[in-house]
Chain A
Amino acid sequence: MIIRMIVNGEQVEVDVKPNETLLDVIRNKLHLTGPKEGCGNGECGACTIIYNGRPVNSCLVLAPEADGAEILTVEGLSKNGKLHPVQEAFIEENAAQCGFCTPGFIMSAKALLDRNPNPSKEDIVEAFAGNLCRCTGYVPIIKAVQRVVKEGRKEK
């Protein structure tokens, strides 16, 4: 069946199977390989995308459900060849090591900051409750989000 979505700002039409996951469609049919499959069961968050404004494990969404959805993947964050402030903050704080979980964390961070531009440490911890990382020990990821908040304030 054909579904229509807005993916990273562009209207797309894609032929999907009823039992196909949105993650598989994004990776294999739209060729956006930023979101990763770490478990396929919604336990690790490596496939996190922003789906109608909310962070979602795309491995848990069946593709037909996404008809009409607006989707943002990590590939949609950079503009005019420039990385997004969240991505820049991850660089500054050394918040990626192997990098496999990173796109998921970045999308969870973006979703958090979109709905709460001034999150507390507890808010940050809660926002990443569904994202696993085995390399960084999470500490620099928290700092990266705090940096975006601080820099945002500076800009204003």
Chain B
Amino acid sequence: MRFKYVGQKMKRVDIYEKVAGTAKYVTDLAFPGMLYAAVLRSPYAHAKIKRLDVSKARELPGVKAVVTSKECPYRQGIYLVDRPIFAQKRVRYVGEPVAAVAADTPEIAQKAIELIEVEYEELPAVHDPRESMKGEILIHPDLESYERLPIYNIEPEKNVFHHHKSRKGDIEKGFAEADLIVENEFYLPQIYHAPLEPHGAIAFWDFNGVLTVWSSAQSPYTLRNLIAHAFKLPRHKVRVITPYIGGGFGGKAGINMEGIVIALAQQVKGKHIKLIYTREEDIMATVVRQGMYARIKTGVKKDGTLTAWEMEMIFDGGAYAEYGTNVVRAAGYTAPGSYYVPNLKIDSYGVYTNHLVGGAFRGFGHGEFHWAVERQMDIIAQKLGMDPKKLREKNLLRPGLTNTMGQKFHEHTGNPKACLDKAAELIEYDKKPEQPKELHKKRGKGIAMLVKAPAMPTNAATAVVIKFNEDATVTLQVSTQEIGQGFNTAVTQMAADALHIPPEKIRVVTPIDTDANPYDWQTVASRALWSTGNALYRAAEDALNQIKNIASQVLGVAPYNLEVEDDRVYVKYDPEIYIPLKDIVMGYTYPDGHAIGGPVIGRGSFVPERLTNLDPETGQGNAAAEWTFGAQAAEVEVDTETGEIRILKLVGVFDAGKVVNPLVAEGQAIGGMIQGLGPAISEEIKYDDKCRPLTVSFTDYKIPTIADIPEEMKIDFVETFEETNPFGARGIAEHPMISVPPAVAAAIYDAIGVNIYELPITPERILKALEGKGK
């Protein structure tokens, strides 16, 4: 394909409304006679509900509906249907919905909530997933009976909602061949997405049985699917509309709090019910990233060749499995990431606790396992007395080798070596950092690799519709949600090149409406550019064929001798013979009035090609469609007296395939790396001893502010053309976040010679590590 618009720094198509303040989000919508919802939540992390009495709330004037699990006895869940919309006899985390009210005003709704009487019998709460696996307290005694996708492997007696196994080669032989065995444990806590827009939804249930939901969901079709499944409704009577989304980062994937307003709407048909979460509710009662404990045992030869990799990951899944099932699986089939190891044994467990619900988060298990893997690589290098970059280089995947699930690496799979080299160049890896005059301040540099494929079902489908308008402009319908990632801009550029029409003549339909827009599985997994791009290409081919077929009849020229360009379709060998597109796209009318053809509507459908499920015992198979590699580097300054870290420089290099829009790509990379800085240095959901979350505001849960950003950031891209996408593009949305923490930790080691094993890297952890070194 000829690239005229793909590869250009086109301005974002959605930015004008966003700077004007006219871009509409769910919270900005209102309807005449709308009711307001409020939710009663569990104050306990684990308890039985002995008594629940809502009668006083019902009697309050202005209250139009009260619902509990009695009226709404449904559960929801994307891969494992374990999460009740309202607690059923038992609560499993602080903040779990117990009842909800719809009333004329938010104040009345709140007052009604306070009138609901609940009696709990507190149960011991499970804090640590490793303890949970002992099975002394069962968090889901009925786990076995829950509906689930068969690819997930539950271990009910251990509170495990998925155990993923990867086995390759002969692990014992691998250790026997090693000159050195290195064993370490790592940990990272749960963290919160913190989109600036809290979750929100409005539901309207009409008397014709049609349910309409306006939601801040990332994935309109999967939301529709999960609503229909939970409430047992036919899909054609559920309509989901998603306006602009104020940041998702995975936290708005799938279904979340929508069931609450839907249950209320079911009780008061014909009324709109609105619920916008407070920040506290958003932190407690949506989803967070799972915490993880990892243990790695690695066998390595003196020259740095990895011979064996045994790894156990125990994910703190919180009270319900959510996307966690697949997070655990993705980490289990990808670790140890960018490196080739002939003998592997990986066990990845998703474990229930009474913490907040773990779910999808930008990186989807990869930020988690890379923390452990990349730290382990640094420590191995230290033990071998080898440069950490050289150790990585030696073991990188390259053409002909296989990854953890046994997929063969090809030239077009990506170029991790080029990413590593470029990152090293940008951080000036070979140049020692200039040390500050104060002796207690030390500077260092570190580097880390990363890789991720879209973690999605083998049949994750998508479709695109291209509608030509009367003047030969184009209306483009996709169901990939614009959540800030810039998809509407990228897809406009791709459509422009596929249709040979300038981007000014193309507009992407927003908001997405499942009644009108074609199917797309989800806006997750860094898959949209790749999979919607494929569907778009097919839709463009379809539209161009229709145009050429009509023109062929009019001009008496074979369709393959015709070309579309800008405002016309012309004869390739004689471009002066042409028909204006506007005379064709609604059908061509001859001078005598008779017409042929009709409105041109291009349709493109796509499912990933040749993907398979994985063998349940070995994890071997073909579950990943395409891989994005990258390398990240950091330069830091550590104050050895206070333990404070200053981030001087961050570098990110990603093999994006063809970069569709360098402006948007760089913006996304910078933003993602700052988001990755949060878990590195400050972010953590903290609990008290009864599993009550303590960090439920922006004061207590610290995301990076403008004062935390490094003095310098460098982003670059390697462009190994992705052969499985007609534009050569692959996803880069999640990757910038992944390996910031290990790069920072590597830089800290370089600066002060101590290893950090746990996130976040707080001044306390630095000082403690320094103390340990002194001994």
Query: When the two chains form their complex, are residues B21 and A139 in contact, meaning their CB atoms are under 8 A apart?
Result: no
Query: When the two chains form their complex, are residues B705 and A136 in contact, meaning their CB atoms are under 8 A apart?
Result: no
In the assembled complex, how far is the CB of residue A108 from the closest CB belonging to chain B, in whole angstroms?
Answer: 10
Query: When the two chains form their complex, are residues B670 and A102 in contact, meaning their CB atoms are under 8 A apart?
Result: no
Count of CB-CB pairs between chains A and B under 8 Å: 160
Number of interface residues of B (CB under 8 A): 56
The interface residues of chain B, by DSSP majority, are classed as loop
A-B contact pairs, 21 of them (CB 8 A): A36-B25, A38-B279, A39-B279, A41-B699, A91-B11, A91-B19, A92-B11, A94-B664, A97-B484, A97-B671, A98-B197, A98-B244, A98-B246, A129-B705, A132-B698, A134-B703, A136-B670, A136-B671, A137-B709, A138-B709, A141-B706
Is the C-beta of A73 less than 8 angstroms from some C-beta in chain B? yes
Query: When the two chains form their complex, are residues B21 and A34 in contact, meaning their CB atoms are under 8 A apart?
Result: yes
Which chain B residue has the least Cβ–Cβ distance from A125? Answer: B706
Could you tell me which residues of chain B, from 207 to 245, have a CB within 8 Å of some CB in chain A? 244-245
Could you tell me which residues of chain B, from 11 to 59, have a CB within 8 Å of some CB in chain A? 11-12, 14-25, 27-28, 30
In the assembled complex, how far is the CB of residue B362 from the closest CB belonging to chain A, in whole angstroms?
Answer: 10
Taking a contact as CB atoms closer than 8 A, the residue among B28, B483, B697, B705 that contacts A98 in the complex is B483
Is the C-beta of B249 less than 8 angstroms from some C-beta in chain A? yes
Query: When the two chains form their complex, are residues B12 and A94 in contact, meaning their CB atoms are under 8 A apart?
Result: yes
Taking a contact as CB atoms closer than 8 A, the residue among B14, B15, B196, B699 that contacts A46 in the complex is B196
Number of interface residues of A (CB under 8 A): 49
Instruction: Tell me the B residues contacting A by CB distance below 8 Å.
Output: 11-12, 14-25, 27-28, 30, 193-198, 244-249, 276, 278-279, 483-486, 663-664, 667-668, 670-675, 697-699, 703-707, 709, 713
Which of A73, A75, A90, A97 has the most chain B CB within a 10 Å cutoff?
Answer: A97
Taking a contact as CB atoms closer than 8 A, the residue among B22, B698, B705 that contacts A41 in the complex is B698
5 nearest A-B pairs in the assembled complex, by CB-CB distance: A34-B21, A100-B246, A98-B484, A99-B18, A137-B674
Given contacts A38-B196, A39-B279, 18 further A-B contacts (CB under 8 A): A28-B30, A34-B20, A34-B21, A34-B22, A43-B697, A75-B22, A97-B484, A98-B246, A99-B14, A99-B484, A100-B195, A100-B197, A100-B246, A101-B196, A103-B21, A132-B196, A133-B706, A134-B195
Q: Kindly state the separation between the CA atoms of A27 and B673 in the bound complex, as whole angstroms.
A: 33
Known contacts A39-B279, A43-B697; is-contact A132 B703 (Cβ 8 Å)? yes
Taking a contact as CB atoms closer than 8 A, the residue among B24, B279, B668, B697 that contacts A97 in the complex is B668
Is the C-beta of A87 less than 8 angstroms from some C-beta in chain B? yes
Query: When the two chains form their complex, are residues B667 and A97 in contact, meaning their CB atoms are under 8 A apart?
Result: yes
Contacts of A40 in B (CB 8 A): 278-279
In the assembled complex, how far is the CB of residue B281 from the closest CB belonging to chain A, in whole angstroms?
Answer: 11
Instruction: Tell me the A residues contacting B by CB distance below 8 Å.
Output: 27-28, 32-41, 43-44, 46, 73-75, 78, 83, 87, 90-92, 94, 96-103, 106, 125, 128-129, 131-142
Query: When the two chains form their complex, are residues B28 and A33 in contact, meaning their CB atoms are under 8 A apart?
Result: yes
Query: When the two chains form their complex, are residues A99 and B244 in contact, meaning their CB atoms are under 8 A apart?
Result: yes
Known contacts A38-B279, A39-B697; is-contact A98 B21 (Cβ 8 Å)? no
Which chain A residue has the least Cβ–Cβ distance from B25? Answer: A100
Contacts of A41 in B (CB 8 A): 279, 697-699
Taking a contact as CB atoms closer than 8 A, the residue among A43, A102, A131, A137 that contacts B19 in the complex is A102
Contacts of A90 in B (CB 8 A): 15, 19
Contacts of A106 in B (CB 8 A): 19, 21
